[in-house]
Amino acid sequence: MAETSFDVIVIGGGPGGYVAAIRAAQLGMKTAVVEREHLGGICLNWGCIPTKALLRCSEISHLLKHLGDYGFSAKDVSFDLKKIVERSRKVANQLSSGVAFLMKKNKIAVFDGSATLAGKGKVKVGGKTIADLTAKHIIIATGARARTLPGLEPDGKLVWTYKEAMVPPMMPKSILVVGSGAIGIEFASFYRNLGCDVTVVEVLDRILPVEDEEISAFARKSFEKQGMKIHTSATVKALKKNANDVAATVEAQGKSFEIKAERVILAIGIVGNVENIGLEGTKVKVEKTHIVVDQWCATGEPGLYAIGDVIGPPWLAHKAMHEGVLCVEHIAGLNTAHPLNVKNVPGCTYCMPQVASVGMTEKAAKAAGYQVKIGHFPYIGNGKAIALGEPEGMIKTVFDGKTGELLGAHMIGAEVTELIQGYAIAKTCESTEQELMETIFPHPTLSEMMHEAVLEAYGRALHI
């Protein structure tokens, strides 16, 4: 008979869930994970990881179109979409197997099935595995799913969610992407770089709306230069499905017009997976499809916690992982546990050019009453960027003019999704402009621009 009594049960084996389980096991707690589909969750199997594999292929496609710039030539260059998709799935499967190994290594019991809360400290598992489990502490990490709207429901054939967009059976000649957040823009970039005619429709007044306004404007200009068509302050009112394409009725600035595309990708946000897990009868509060928690990820029900996408934005795997650790360490009574500071959570969009940020935008900082100092540095002023053939981009810093605190950093350009961590560390360490100015950045690197963007905020830039 399998063990059914635990110290901690985690419902959901995504990034937040499996990391919470590992940390609990490290701290000597007997731990179980209940997962209904794939260990690693949406992120590893159908999100973060496989999309990055796809985007890597689109980057290669982009480079192949510019071989002449690097002194190379090639004839009849083509791609095999089936192999591109197969590579993406292989990467996801490899990592999912890795999570299974980590569960075994840390002696974490894994139950394949759907979990339902069945009373205080009780979890009922149904599906592949049937079991009645008990634990003093239960962590909900059920994640989220794609939002749908009336009249814009996906059908998996002509109208796709992110899932269908990752495994296309053929390359459409044209695609309409509804929504310009990170998911929408990444798919728009992937398909555009593989030669697809791409149109993006965004209901707000700019694309990548959570980013700094200057970054959003820079991104739009770059995407349009690549041939992408973008409509902001626009709403898709209806989708008319034909045999092999879709006609979308779009309304913008009081005018209505039609956009035809072979396929539509819906990227209009996500909703928390709060249904059918037994929240009824508990003291758990749900607002706008997300579970309400305190600074330690505790719900209103004693012994019940929630982490990750199911508790709301930012909907990021690394935020979920961090919450998993802080939640478990708080349960264990460690003095090292600290509540999450959302302003220190970096965000990354893996389009071309890449976009990354951490902390407050210039507009948000000013609205909060800060007297800001703003620094900029362009990629065209950096030797490594020019040598790479990637001179398009910008780094922007936002400082508190009174204290020198780094309030935010915003980037667009090659490899900024890797560079942003430097500013994330600076924010976590509460660095001021003085420490950043005194830090020696290696030459020649893209990271030198981070130094220059700090210097420029204080009128000390050296290379512009």
User: Which residues are catalytic, by number?
Assistant: 443
* Those residues with Cβ within 8 angstroms of residue 425's Cβ, 6 or more apart along the chain or in another chain: none
Q: Beta-strand (E) ranges in 36-113?
A: 109-112
Output b/e per residue, 368-392; b: 16+ Cβ within 10 A: eebebbbbbbbbebbebbeeeebeb
Query: Residues, the chain, total?
Result: 464
The 3-state DSSP class for residue 268 equals coil
Distance (Å, whole) CA 431 – CA 59: 34
Written as six digits, the tokens of 430 are 């509460």
Q: What is the DSSP letter of 441?
A: P
- How far, in Å, are 78, 121, 194 from residue 74 at the CA level? 10, 64, 17
Distance (Å, whole) CA 177 – CA 200: 5
Written as six digits, the tokens of 437 are 């100015």
Q: Which of 369, 409, 352, 374 is nearest to 212 (CA)?
A: 409
Distance (Å, whole) CA 112 – CA 35: 5
Written as six digits, the tokens of 74 are 């090639």
Written as six digits, the tokens of 203 are 């209901």
Q: Beta-strand (E) ranges in 172-298?
A: 174-178, 197-201, 229-231, 234-241, 246-252, 255-261, 263-266, 270-272, 286-287, 290-291
Helix 81-105, helix 48-64: angle, nearest 10: 140
- Tracing tokens 């709060």 back to the chain, one arrives at 274
Q: Half-sphere exposure of 363 toward its Cβ, with a 13 Å CA cutoff?
A: 8
- How far, in Å, are 25, 100, 152 from residue 231 at the CA level? 49, 43, 18
